[in-house]
Structure 1
Amino acid sequence: MRDKSYIWISFIVLIFGIWAVPKIVKKFEKSDLLLIGAAPEFELIDQNQKKITNKNYEGKVYVLEFFFANCPTICPIMNQNMLKLQEEFYGNLKFGIASITIDPLRDTPEALKRHAEELGVKLPFWHMMTGDSKYIFELSNKFNLYAGANPEAPGGFEHSGLFALIDKEGNIRCRKDENGNPIVYYDGTADEGIEMIKEDIKLLLGE
């Protein structure tokens, strides 16, 4: 009887082990999100007058945008949607936000500090960054996120309302659309885009 009990216990442990191992391995698998390529490197100054580079985001999933504080059109919507991401992932030190101004003459570190406070930025790794105007426009081109000066545009600038999603290894990632094509970037002005990026941030945090 004792030998039979031992055999049954061993059998149960074996079956449980076979069932559990795939679940443990699954946790460390890559998600199905597409890899677009390495995000461009950058070096800028944030609202706390600290030098911030892409290396500050190593090991973190982060969302990157180009904006400006005095934008009268889409930026306020983008700001509110970034706040939704802050609320969703607040307390997770593996998540961050990179907001890069395209109006560095007005958006000094001091101005960005005021803007961050007015907006309600609390996330430790939400850096609002400024720098040389030419450098920033070249950086936006490298990301393929349009930004440019236009005296006839509201606020004097035009820019994309898209968000880039970057994984812990510094790669731009995205999901596929309904036709199986990469969306590349997420619409930072639409509720649908924010819900999609929330879901995909969670996937990347789990990698």
Structure 2
Amino acid sequence: MNKKYTYVWVSLIVLIFGIIVIPRIVKRLSSNTVVENDRLNVSVHNERLGYILVDGKKRKVPSFEFLNQDSIVVSNKDYLGKVYVVDFFFTRCPSICPVMTTNLVDVQRYFKGNEHFGIASFSITPEFDTPQVLRTYADKYKIQKPGWNLLTGDKDVVYRLANAGFNIFAAEMPDVPGGFEHSGLFALVDKEGYLRSRIDQFGNPIVYYRGAILEEKGVNDHGETEEIGILKSDIQKLLNE
């Protein structure tokens, strides 16, 4: 076939494509169906929450055992059958911990009376945060038992649990306010002890919830949107499973 006829056929194909396909694309864009149906058809508002996978396996909360604010031994087994939130904090924290605790008090109030919901807060300064100190902290913020345990124990074990177990950063840093640095993230755990989270529009788990954002403000000083309402919604989804 000579070049003249080749050009004719190519032009014809392009013309047909323009007549048939392009109007369909425009229609999909104008009706948002590209956003709704493409990119693995996954939405941040999915009814079911995703699992956190490591090497193809669902990530489970590591075993732990600590003393709570009442000097009672509490382990991960005590949370089986409960949906619960995990955070790492310390009572002398001058920055994000008061915001995190305030948000968790709000979550506690929202699920008040639900025996299948709980919170586990691990102190990253256990040498200071004794059960007695944690009891005073609990009284200050009106933290209620038995649903919410403030936990203290061996420092190395706590840091290993935070950084390796939950991948929630915590470290001793003398140069920062309070002498310790941590991420301020909340982890969500289902009734069987698996880490769960929302899935983004690309099919990836969002994993954690930013706990250092005041819900009533809507955004923090860096312009980040609040996520406590989202956390409440996701807790309820797991409670309903």
CA distance in 1, matches of 2:106, 2:125: 24
CA distance in 1, matches of 2:123, 2:168: 13
2:49 partner amino acid: L
CA distance in 1, matches of 2:71, 2:181: 26
The counterpart of 1:78, out of the listed 100, 106, 124, is 100
Counterpart position of 1:198: 232
CA deviation digits over 1:38-66, x for unaligned, max 9? 11111111000011000000100000000
CA distance in 1, matches of 2:145, 2:197: 23
CA distance in 1, matches of 2:91, 2:141: 10
The counterpart of 1:91, out of the listed 102, 105, 113, is 113
Contact 2:51/2:205, CA 8 A, preserved across alignment: no
Counterpart position of 1:140: 162
Aligned residues: 177
Q: TM-score, normalised by structure 2?
A: 0.72
CA deviation digits over 1:11-52, x for unaligned, max 9? xxxxxxxxxxxxxxxxxxxx5200112111111110000110
List 4+ stretches of structure 1 deviating above 3 A: none
Q: How far apart are residue 153 of structure 1 and its match?
A: 1.1
User: Which stretch shifts more, 179-188 or 72-81?
Assistant: 179-188
The counterpart of 1:179, out of the listed 188, 194, 202, is 202
2:91 partner amino acid: A
The counterpart of 1:34, out of the listed 50, 63, 69, is 50
CA distance in 2, matches of 1:76, 1:103: 15
Task: Quote the sequence identity (%).
Answer: 49
Q: How far apart are residue 124 of structure 1 and its match?
A: 2.0
Counterpart position of 2:69: 47
Q: How far apart are residue 123 of structure 1 and its match?
A: 4.3
Contact 1:96/1:123, CA 8 A, preserved across alignment: no
Structure with greater strand percent: 1
Structure 2 matches for 1:152-167, cutoff 5 A? 152-167=175-190
CA deviation digits over 1:122-156, x for unaligned, max 9? 24220000001111111111210000101111111
The counterpart of 1:103, out of the listed 118, 125, 146, is 125
1:129 partner amino acid: L
